[in-house]
Amino acid sequence: MGETAVLQSTEEILDRYADMVLRTAYTMVKNRHDAEDIAQDVFVSLMRANPTFESAEHQKAWLLRVTINRCKSFLTSSWQRKTQGLEEALPADVSCTPTERTVVDAVNALPLKYRQVIYLYYIEGYATAEIARLLNLPLNTVLSQMARARKLLKKTLKGEWDNV
Amino acid sequence: MFEQEYRQGMEKLSASAQWRTDTLQKMQQARQASSAPGQPAPAPGKRPLRVSPRAALLCAAAVVALLVVPLGQWQGLWTGASTATLSEADAAPARVMTAEDTAGADTDDPRMAIAPQADMPTQESAEAAPEQATGGTGAAAEDVPLWQQGVLEELTDTGFYLREGTERTYYAITAQTDWGGASAQALEDCTVTVVYTQDADGLRTAVQVRADF
């Protein structure tokens, strides 16, 4: 997180953040097709809004926040609630080991509020305080959600998760 | 550690080349559209403000309402202030005029201060027997120029009664009372306009008496 240069080029922005936005959206909506649509919408919004960022970290946080908000809107949309969303495990074209696939599926099986904090903590490397700011939640809420998520994962995976 | 497995599994999920090409194209189109001439530059760190026509209309209505109400109040205050100013000026303590002062005074000025006369009746004496009231208290009359229309009735040595509808009011007269060139007797039973002053005790003193023809 030491980089401070804000990316301006469209290609650079997409190269740097495409996977992050896609993975965040996938973690939230658990469907690659929907995640791609949401991720595309997020990048187009970035171009339209053209906000001025103070740092690369600010830019990354903006993208994450907008992605999470778009996913929540998508999940709470009337269309989504009326039609059962097509949940899928990691796509078949993703070459994962059975263990990796099992763990990803276990995280995806968690309630939304738990999977988003697990994703931000373990994949994006945010501290709990940063997650609290990003999700606009009290720190204690984030800490309790992390603890419950780990407890559920331990139960599901019947093994050691992480004692952080 | 499952943490490591989770990280590795998620890192293998990446955007496809097709998606990247499609998204890049849409991003460039959006950037061109947002930077087209006529598009205002967004403020640093802020999204460009978009206001719907309905919201704009409501804002305009609110602004008009906020302006109209204080303007109405201001107008009322201004009117009240001008009245108050006039009243203040008129309510200024009357200057006790001497005979020399009044000799060359413009008696047409209804706001002319009236010097208390020795034969001016007090309110009490006027109420008791207005036509008999003589000998004022010596206090300076409060100079409040007012006017009243009515029928001049019952002229006495010290004043007259003015009938306004069903009411009769006594008006004292002085040597300075201006009758408009006519004699007091000539105006009896005529409809007149009386410009008068009223002192603190409520006694009215006629300054001008003009017949309404």
> Using one digit for the tens of pLDDT, what is the confidence trace for B12-55?
888 889 999 999 999 988 888 877 766 555 555 555 566 677 78
Least CB–CB distance from A10: residue in B14, B28, B42: B28
Of A37, A13, A21, the residue nearest B27 (C-alpha): A13
Beta-carbon separation of A90 and B14 below 8 A? no
Beta-carbon separation of A23 and B10 below 8 A? yes
Q: Which residues of A touch B7 (CB under 8 A)?
A: 122-123
Least CB–CB distance from A14: residue in B3, B16, B23: B23
Classified as helix, coil or strand, A67 is helix
Tokens encoding A63: 């993208």
Beta-carbon separation of B45 and A10 below 8 A? no
Mean pLDDT of B119-144: 42
At residue B62, the pLDDT reads 87
Which tops the pLDDT comparison, B57 or A164?
A: B57
pLDDT greater than 50 at residue A72: yes
> Using one digit for the tens of pLDDT, what is the confidence trace for B86-114?
444 444 444 444 444 444 444 444 444 44
Long-range contacts at A128-135 (CB < 8 A, ≥ 24 apart): A134/A61, A134/A64, A134/A65, A134/A68, A135/A68
Angle in degrees, CA A23, A25, A27, rounded to 5? 65
Which tops the pLDDT comparison, A108 or B133?
A: A108
With a CB cutoff of 8 Å and minimum separation 6, the contacts of A95 are B12
Q: How far apart, in whole angstroms, are the C-alpha atoms of residue A164 and residue A143?
A: 11
Chain A interface mutation, best of B7, B12, B21, highest count of A Cβ atoms under 10 Å: B12
Beta-carbon separation of B12 and A100 below 8 A? yes
Q: Which residues pair with B161 in a beta bridge?
A: B153, B170
